[in-house]
Structure 1
């Protein structure tokens, strides 16, 4: 039987409200010194109601502790616990709004099934029934839930119940008594070399959408990184792109999630030429837009504002209103254009995956791939590298197998993976889009006798090629 050593306290959780309006409290009861750790222990419980009701609940909580009945009843529903969980997460300021919205979406799906269930009475069987119903199509969308979706739901619930156990609302976490649903997401696809060549040949670098697609497939930039890129991050003279910021769908220009996301990318000649062409075309569009805004202001008898000009802070990819492009809008552009570009059903992120797969296909060291991709962990990089390497091994094995049944023929000449003939764009200017994937990393063919211009290459790559 636990011994209460004080009268207990009531902590107001809604700090922005007066006590008379607050309806969320934390009950704290001291239970003496822990003989094992030498620290004073406190039992806690959350309560929803008025302050007067909270005082009554505190007295009952003390009785439960003294009679060892603290886990026998809760009266707090999953929905209430989830709301409190999200309130405290937001108040902590440690999580991005995008992450918070994702958790709220998961809790909405959970509340559809067990929102009004007493948290202390949720068992493994309760969760198994909910997952079975979701797999059968009892979801917010009406579509059967995938294993990957259930995996995320389960992890969200585990976080919630871990928090409830810590606060003394429940005795144990039911999520730990069952296996986590397996993810069943299909592996991302990567464009083959000839498909990359055909894809790039269709792009017009004077268009905002096309330069975004090109950056993804030629540098491996993420969607948020493309939208967060400004001209100050593009050094056309030194041919280096600096990834410093990422732009989210809530309009936040923020640092990348991990330190590895902040990186410098070498800019091959083909990428530099495309960006030079795009920058000139973009400046013309901005000037035309600014002139139109001034004309409308004059027509309406208004004083024109500061004239819009292209500057170092101007985004590389602009929206139709000459502002920074939202990742959601870029996604909408891709869904609009992908069928025309011959990639119907392909995700925007698979352009980045195609870039990384090309590096692996050309034998680039995994550590260099990790630095170029901005992966915080080598696990994802190695997964891509191993997959591509296995395909190459199978192809090699097939060649050897053919030797037993067919005469040996001279090996055909090696064709560059991404070689595109020059084409006329933007008033007669000729531009070679991409010379070869090797240029994406080494900036020069291995066979050339000329000394290439000095470029940025990661130290680890220098070590790898030595």
Structure 2
């Protein structure tokens, strides 16, 4: 149990993938499994088994949705050859949006599959089913191109969940995207704090809460551009203009409130 807890703590501390890292991993993957990393990061945050289990019939490109219906594993005893089986939980069965940017890549991948009679979306070089270990090994090699030896395929799922929340999705929407039925699972294991976003959010919060204080306008001004009046007259005028603008906005708000009828 202690070992499992240590492993879980280590996995939970891995930061999400950045756009630049994802791009480098994508380009370092073999062509026939390359799209797996974009799909896992951007469409439903799929588990590696769910990615391997995708079929061409799961993609509704007209309505831009992906139906996640099965997973590839080694069976209930985790032994034997790879096989198509059930999803991890009942909640894992879900339909998720396909972003517009992925539609052309999906169409191209479907057309380039060597065996059009085989309905598997990612086709194995040997056998009918792409096993998890093959895809995982591809990812482990490709992550070196991003300079992120700590990454796991699961981190793409973590990245999807984290970005959904940062970009405005509710907790319920994020849970539905991942196929979770318990809030604790999403919050504890899949969301990460992003320092850059924390700073941006703090700046936006402070700008809103302090917007009524005109004395802070000058302090928040950017430095005057090079080449302006050496005495700083242009910078002073800009500061004064911003200050007057904030005072005007403040006075207008006060006047509007005073103009409201009582009761």
TM-score scaled by length of structure 2: 0.67
**2:161–2:191 contact (8 Å) kept in structure 1:** no
What is the aligned partner in structure 2 of residue 148 from structure 1? 3
What is the aligned partner in structure 1 of residue 32 from structure 2? 208
Measured in 1, the distance between the counterparts of 2:98 and 2:185 equals: 24
Q: Does the C-alpha gap of structure 1 residues 409 and 380 become closer, same or farther in structure 2, counting only changes over 3 Å?
A: farther
Matched, 1:267 2:76: no
What is the aligned partner in structure 2 of residue 461 from structure 1? none
**2:22–2:146 contact (8 Å) kept in structure 1:** yes
**1:189–1:354 contact (8 Å) kept in structure 2:** no
Matched, 1:408 2:220: yes
**1:203–1:210 contact (8 Å) kept in structure 2:** yes
- RMSD of equivalent CA atoms: 3.3
Shift of 1:228: 0.4
Q: Relative contact order, CA 8 A, sep 6+: which one is greater?
A: 2
Note the residue ranges of structure 1 that are not aligned, 5 or more in a row: 1-145, 152-180, 287-308, 411-466
What is the aligned partner in structure 2 of residue 111 from structure 1? none
Measured in 2, the distance between the counterparts of 1:371 and 1:251 equals: 27
What is the aligned partner in structure 1 of residue 238 from structure 2? none
What is the aligned partner in structure 1 of residue 71 from structure 2? 246
Measured in 2, the distance between the counterparts of 1:268 and 1:329 equals: 26
Shift of 1:365: 0.5
2:86 pairs with one of 252, 255, 259: 255
Shift of 1:184: 4.2
SS in 2 for 1:339: helix
SS in 2 for 1:264: strand
Measured in 1, the distance between the counterparts of 2:219 and 2:190 equals: 32
Higher Cα radius of gyration: 1
Alignment of 1:25-40 (within 5 A): none
What is the aligned partner in structure 1 of residue 107 from structure 2? 276
Measured in 2, the distance between the counterparts of 1:336 and 1:314 equals: 27
Alignment of 1:346-425 (within 5 A): 346-383=151-188, 387-388=192-193, 392-393=197-198, 395-397=200-202, 400=206, 407-409=219-221
Q: How many residues align?
A: 206
Measured in 1, the distance between the counterparts of 2:198 and 2:39 equals: 30
Matched, 1:187 2:12: yes
Alignment of 1:29-428 (within 5 A): 147-149=2-4, 184-191=9-16, 195-200=18-23, 203-204=26-27, 207-219=31-43, 220-249=45-74, 250-282=81-113, 286=114, 309-311=115-117, 314-321=119-126, 323-383=128-188, 387-388=192-193, 392-393=197-198, 395-397=200-202, 400=206, 407-409=219-221
What is the aligned partner in structure 2 of residue 171 from structure 1? none
SS in 1 for 2:119: coil
Q: Does the C-alpha gap of structure 1 residues 324 and 341 become closer, same or farther in structure 2, counting only changes over 3 Å?
A: farther
What is the aligned partner in structure 2 of residue 105 from structure 1? none
TM-score scaled by length of structure 1: 0.39
Alignment of 1:17-32 (within 5 A): none
**1:221–1:352 contact (8 Å) kept in structure 2:** yes
SS in 1 for 2:219: coil
Q: Does the C-alpha gap of structure 1 residues 392 and 339 become closer, same or farther in structure 2, counting only changes over 3 Å?
A: closer
Measured in 2, the distance between the counterparts of 1:211 and 1:409 equals: 45
